[in-house]
Structure 1
Amino acid sequence: MSKRLAWFALAAGTAAALAAVALAWPRAEMIPSASPAAWAATPENIARGAYLARAGNCVACHTARGGAEYAGGRALDTPFGRLYGPNLTPDRATGIGHWSADDFWNALHNGRSRDARLLYPAFPYTNTTLVSRPDSDALFAYFRSLPATHRSNQPHELAFPYNQQALLALWRLLYFKPGTFTPDPRRGAEWNRGAYLVEGLGHCSACHSPRNRLGASGDTLAGGLMPTSGWYAPPLGAGARAGLGNWDKEHIVALLQTGVSARGTASGPMAEVVARSLQHLTTSDVGAMATYLKSLPASPAPAQDSPARPGEQLLAEGKRLYGSYCVDCHGAQGKGKPPAYPPLAGNHAVTLTPAVNAIRIVLNGGFPPGTKGNPRPYGMPPFGHELNDAQVAAVLSYVRASWGNAGAPVPVPEVNRYRSVPLD
């Protein structure tokens, strides 16, 4: 076959594949607004939209460090390259000043920009597709009420072929279908409100679900490694070894609203979520989220059901280090002094596999967020400058195997791996 015929065959095959994608492509849905009054710039709509924007933590991805709120520019690193949050202010040249309420709804629900361009799923439209049209209109009214900030959107930095819209179209065909939230008639109003917030606007699965090699989420809330941030978002389903099923509802509410509770402390990326989003929600809405989370099915058990117990020499060294660096705050029996100093005994966050979160906290220290319910949080100092990799592994292996904990020993190379990972 000549080169010309080979290229023709390739082009024909590509065209046929694209035609098949087009034929199988789920058509975009459009649910109309109730009336122009739904997105009018009334105090009621703006206040409601502001609250919903908090619930969705929109500010986190649409605000650059030190920049104007919602003016875009926040870098979002992914395994496929870097994306930048766009400008949501009503600037007519660089923001959404030319957008209509239908354009905004189309982005949330169908994952399409005003010019029909397909949006990358770093914008979690796989979750926001569940947002109701009234809530979308209220959000639009709020964003249109913000001060217009002229800030051009920064081009994404994606490697080939991930920067191709055709490949994104194929990804959407495999992993995305527009949907709506349908209340479960077998459940009460509180449970359904919690499901709407967790699965939709709150997009908890964006971090707390495992992802495949193409970046698609399983939406199971079974926990997942956040590959570019170097943190592990723990499972949220029920179960004694992991998840929230055995937590009292009041402890879940306290953690989400204040960042601290009798069972644990929010740190890393979750601390930012609490500070910027969850602390601003009503106790009723946070309670609804807790009710829903407690009802989730059991998360899969860790791959290593019966972890090897650390050797006696390793335990002895870990106990010695614990007595020198940890006992004053966390106690000889690992009970801590909650909420200031979280317990280590029975704390599933300490025994998770992988142990990345515990490693990073020992190396770099950390603070829970400063919130209305906990305005002066107690923090943990970093020990990475005092303890070498083997010592960090020893003290964590001791903690993960003591006071009823049953976590696997921490390998020294695992500590070294995360010693150089950036904090953000």
Structure 2
Amino acid sequence: MRHAALSSALALVIALSLAACDRAPGAAAEASAPPATAPAATTAPPTPGKQLQVREIATGLEHPWAVAPLPEGGFLVTERPGRLRRVSATGELSEPVANVPAVWAKGQGGLLDVVLAPDFATSRRIFLSYAEPGPGDTAGTAVATAVLDGNALTDVKRIYQQQPKLEGPNHFGSRIAFDGKGHVFISQGDRNDRPTAQKLDMLQGKIVRLNLDGSVPQDNPFVGTPGARPEIWSYGHRNAQSLAVDPRTGTLWEAEHGPRGGDEINLPAPGKNYGWPVVTHGINYSGLPIPEAVGNEAPDMQPPHHVWEKSPGLAGMAFYTGRPDSAWNDSLLLGALADGSLIRVTLDGDRIAGEERLLKDIGARIRDVRVGPEGHVYVITDQEDGRLLQLIPPVR
């Protein structure tokens, strides 16, 4: 077991320029990683100011995948090999939390997202997504709920499992988001089996919408449709590792990996088809066209809300809103794996008005981003010795 405490010698305060970048796309796909570089260190504590400040909270996390700030302080962090850790506000790592569901930890599989239930303050319930093992070395995305009781989980219940389970180590998704109306959304990948994203009798390449107990809402778009899974909200998605609800409007936003090029943001609407693999802005990693693709648009398929022709490798997503004194107010934050950055997209309503790429200096894949209740931003780096960082956005 590896433990990490906040080292004063590594308490980072990195001043980053506020000049907005243009919309130049990022680097290659998820499998690509930027070179590791060591950021400068300082012992000065972060304070609000005109420049972005970054502080290292913890190290020693093995390929962390998601971070959830706790209301009492500290964090929950998933590690892809199958561990859930508690991290204190000063950076100490707990022993692995007990009773986490068994995961299929191969390739991109493992323990994935963690989010607090909407009533966490009273229920202590959390949601976990993970690659669930199946027969014959198959696997599929699953979601479980559990009660956080000290350093253990109790009342663990799987509320969703992707069917059918398939072979292969890639494209599980998966993020979890709540609409504030008693529903949970779960994003999933196509398991690197492209045609599944268009098949309504399979759950790969879909966003599903469930009640919080895992039952199917009767107003889901395919309830009662012969040959279609009633859990489906939208389909034609490739590998969605970004999902969030805009607190200003209640609109669901999703971002997904393209193949070689074509990462995109969508605003998934009920019953709509977002095109993969028939419609794409990307090509195969080999440089050859996608066999099923007809171009970047087709009848009855939704165009992306925003597209990067060169893939940054989009990961976690969080809205930064309701903070008029912050220079980041009304922003969408996206982790980028291949580009090794935190992408800040400025919003004018739903319109994307600009883009800024941050944290390039640290030379790490940014896997997740969350906003804490105090207005600080937390990101984790996808590394064997992964880090949890705190960002204090600049004031106006």
TM-score (norm 2): 0.27
Q: Which structure has the highest helix share of the two?
A: 1
Q: Which structure has the highest strand share of the two?
A: 2
TM-score (norm 1): 0.25
Structure with the bigger RCO (C-alpha within 8 Å, sep 6+) is 2
Q: Which has the larger radius of gyration?
A: 1
